[in-house]
């Protein structure tokens, strides 16, 4: 078992994504190493990027791709890679050396993995057909990976959207899949950028479904496309089951090594699909152990598998989109797109174009055909956030689309059938707006197949210690400093605050504190609670003892250890924390929990 196989085996229990860097220089390699990247890829595209050309030059006959990759390895990557495992691209049918010779040279250099690169997947049309007919296509690449695997290499199948290669590589038994979303490209327009990312999620989930149907389970990394920031990757991680991300241009485009280190660390700080976190500390992206949250988890679990519309009611910042995301992940549509629409942010004049799309030339500025949200979500889930803000015109248009299950793009002549599951949310009760004449009752009943009510944070103070631990874990990585917990005085302030902004406000308070304070324990010196209730009128809580964060943690820790049968790795996974944090909690909780239990 080489280091890549060991990495994959250990990754299954981790919550951070795998990050691979395609390096074209020693500077990028050093930056990736310092930032904690997991994998280093040596592809001849990196050679061209280091010369100031784009990655597409790797597919043109400027030289021998395998020679270029070996030169890149010897001169730039291997001297600076530290202990990062290296995966080298290998072009099949090299006329200068046999495949066995190439593989032997790579093994002698210390390469541990092989990927089919440059790949025929980026070629199409008659030329692609001629290559396949001549035996120089995907089957030749699969054969090359078979021989590499027999020599002890970890094998990576580079599959491209739309050419059907994902299932073929998975069936061939590769260790990992690189799922290409196209060459890296930046999109600066905010709305267009979001469309591109949502479209990429749809394409990626289609490839993942191809792999899933083969019965094989390789590690799957997204590659390229519009993913150029950590926020873009976070969207991809939230709405697909990928294990990580690999990129070249996205890292090399940054001019300074410190910027490279910062970006890779931020990629590494993201969480994988929050479905990895389960009871008792959380449920998917949701965190909490109060009775209200346990009831919420139960309702989500019951509702998610059924293809009915769901109306989510809750105050701003209480986590409505997180609930919608978890419903989608547990639904039968989880391998398809999850598309979000903020109804309050769409001008009434653009509503139909935004939801139903438009044809080229439909109006001034319509320079290209644009898919609407319904088409992007076809086969998946459409989340309508702040649906109460829809205008009367928007309500009528939405009702017609839901009733008829079809849409007509602006400027189009023929209606198109769409299959979407509707999830809607609002921070204002729709039933009250109906009484006031501001919302259509018929639309309400179309949206409200089932209602899920989110409790405000002030009614579930028992959850605050777990929310704080969860938020501090992310902030510690983001701000590159160790923050362990909050002081008892800080917790006392938090308990007295009303939290009108709910969890979003709590995250803001903790972010401000971590920026303004030093030390591993935050005291909340700059936070002053605001309460509209007197001590005499303080609402009853589940158990005032639960407001002690250590007491609440001990109970959850004890339940997790019991549920895990004493296995510390499993208990840490149940609680959504690392083993190191678990050991610290065990020491704090002694003698209630025995730290000497065997893993």
pLDDT in tens, 287-322: 888 889 999 999 999 999 999 999 999 999 999 999
Query: pLDDT confidence of 1, banded at 50, 70, 90?
Result: low
The three-state DSSP-derived secondary structure of 61-84 is CCCCHHHHHHHHHHHHHHHHCCCC
pLDDT reading at 535 higher than 50: no
What is the residue whose two structure tokens read 């990247």? 37
- The whole-angstrom separation of Cα 598 and Cα 561 is 11
Range 458-589 has CATH code 1.10.8.60:
yes
**pLDDT at residue number 254:** 47
Higher pLDDT among residues 596 and 377, named by residue? 377
pLDDT in tens, 51-82: 777 677 777 778 899 999 999 999 999 999 99
What's the rounded mean pLDDT across residues 169-191? Answer: 86
- At residue 413, the 3 state secondary structure works out as coil
Q: Of 535, 537, 518, 517, which Cα lies nearest the Cα of 527?
A: 517
pLDDT reading at 164 higher than 50: yes
Higher pLDDT among residues 178 and 367, named by residue? 178
Report whether 316 contacts 504 (CB < 8 A): yes
Alpha carbon of 201 to those of 30, 127, 342: distances in Å? 31, 29, 18
Predicted model pTM: 0.68
pLDDT reading at 540 higher than 70: no
- The whole-angstrom separation of Cα 336 and Cα 460 is 33
Topology at the third CATH level for domain 291-454: Rossmann fold (3.40.50)
Q: Please, where in the chain does CATH 1.10.8.60 lie?
A: 458-589
Superfamily of domain 19-270: Aldolase class I (3.20.20.70)
- The whole-angstrom separation of Cα 222 and Cα 180 is 6
pLDDT reading at 279 higher than 70: no
Alpha carbon of 591 to those of 156, 207, 324, 331, 585: distances in Å? 48, 50, 40, 42, 11
Alpha carbon of 135 to those of 120, 143, 149: distances in Å? 11, 11, 20
Residue 339 CB burial class (10 angstroms; 0-12, 13-18, ≥19) = buried
- The whole-angstrom separation of Cα 204 and Cα 405 is 25
pLDDT reading at 264 higher than 80: no
Report whether 403 contacts 362 (CB < 8 A): no
Q: What is the dihedral of CA 454, 459, 465, 466, to 10 degrees?
A: -20
Residues composing the chain: 599
What is the residue whose two structure tokens read 């549509």? 333
**Residues forming beta bridges with residue 417, ordered by sequence position:** 406
Q: Please, where in the chain does CATH 3.20.20.70 lie?
A: 19-270
Q: Please, where in the chain does CATH 3.40.50.300 lie?
A: 291-454
What's the rounded mean pLDDT across residues 402-424? Answer: 93
Beta strand 450-453 with 416-417 is unpaired
Report whether 517 contacts 525 (CB < 8 A): yes
The chain-wide mean pLDDT, for the chain, equals 85
């Amino acid at each position: 078992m080489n280091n890549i196989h060991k990495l994959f085996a250990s990754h299954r229990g981790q919550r951070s994504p795998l990050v691979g860097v395609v390096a074209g220089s020693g500077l990028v390699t050093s930056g990736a190493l310092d930032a904690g990247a997991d994998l280093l890829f040596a592809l001849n595209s990196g050679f061209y990027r280091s010369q100031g050309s784009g990655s597409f030059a790797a597919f043109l006959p400027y030289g021998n791709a395998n020679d270029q990759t070996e030169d890149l390895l010897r001169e730039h990557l291997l001297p600076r890679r530290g202990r990062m495992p290296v995966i080298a691209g290998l072009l099949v049918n090299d006329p200068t050396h046999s495949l066995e010779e190439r593989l032997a040279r790579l093994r002698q250099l210390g390469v541990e993995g092989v990927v089919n690169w440059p790949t025929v997947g980026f070629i199409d049309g008659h030329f692609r057909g001629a290559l396949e007919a001549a035996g120089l296509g995907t089957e030749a690449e699969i054969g090359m990976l078979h021989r590499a695997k027999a020599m002890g290499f970890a094998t990576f199948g580079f599959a491209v959207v739309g050419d059907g290669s994902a299932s073929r590589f998975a069936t061939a038994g590769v260790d990992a899949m690189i799922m290409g979303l196209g060459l890296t490209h930046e999109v600066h327009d905010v709305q267009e950028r979001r469309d591109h990312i949502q479209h990429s999620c749809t394409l990626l989930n289609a490839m993942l479904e191809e792999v899933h149907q083969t019965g094989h389970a390789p590690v799957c990394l997204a590659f390229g496309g519009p993913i150029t920031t950590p926020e873009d990757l976070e969207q991809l991680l939230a709405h697909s089951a990928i294990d990580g991300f690999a990129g070249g241009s996205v890292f090399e485009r940054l001019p300074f090594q410190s910027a490279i280190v910062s970006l890779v660390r931020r990629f590494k700080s993201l969480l994988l699909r929050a479905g990895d976190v389960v009871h008792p500390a959380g449920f998917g992206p949701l965190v909490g152990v109060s009775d209200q949250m346990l009831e919420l988890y139960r309702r989500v679990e019951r509702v998610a598998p059924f293809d009915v519309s769901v109306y989510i009611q809750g105050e701003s910042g209480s986590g409505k989109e997180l609930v919608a995301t978890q419903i989608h992940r547990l639904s039968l549509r989880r391998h398809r797109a999850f598309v979000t629409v903020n109804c309050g942010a769409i001008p009434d004049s653009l509503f139909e174009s935004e939801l139903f799309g438009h044809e080229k030339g439909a109006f001034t500025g319509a320079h290209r055909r644009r898919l609407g949200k319904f088409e992007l979500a076809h086969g998946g889930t459409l989340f309508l956030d702040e649906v109460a803000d829809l205008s009367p015109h928007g309500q009528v248009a939405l009702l017609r689309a839901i009733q008829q299950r079809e849409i007509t793009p602006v400027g189009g002549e023929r209606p198109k059938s769409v299959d979407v599951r509707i999830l809607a949310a609002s921070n204002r009760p729709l039933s009250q707006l109906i009484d006031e004449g501001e919302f259509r009752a018929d639309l309400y009943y179309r949206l409200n197949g089932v209602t899920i009510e989110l409790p405000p944070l002030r009614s579930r103070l028992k959850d605050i210690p777990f929310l704080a631990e969860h938020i501090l874990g992310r902030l510690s990585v983001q701000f590159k400093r160790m923050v362990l917990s909050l002081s008892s005085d800080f917790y006392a302030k938090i308990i007295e605050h009303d939290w009108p902004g709910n969890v979003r406000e709590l995250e803001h308070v903790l972010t401000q504190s971590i920026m303004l304070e030093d030390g591993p324990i935050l005291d909340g010196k700059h936070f002053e609670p605001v309460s509209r209730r007197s001590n005499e009128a303080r609402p009853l809580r589940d158990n005032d003892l639960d407001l002690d964060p250590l007491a609440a943690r001990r109970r959850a820790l004890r339940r997790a250890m019991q549920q895990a049968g004493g296995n510390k790795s499993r208990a840490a996974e149940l609680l959504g924390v690392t083993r190191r944090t678990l050991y610290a909690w065990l020491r704090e909780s002694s003698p209630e929990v025995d730290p000497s239990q065997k893993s």
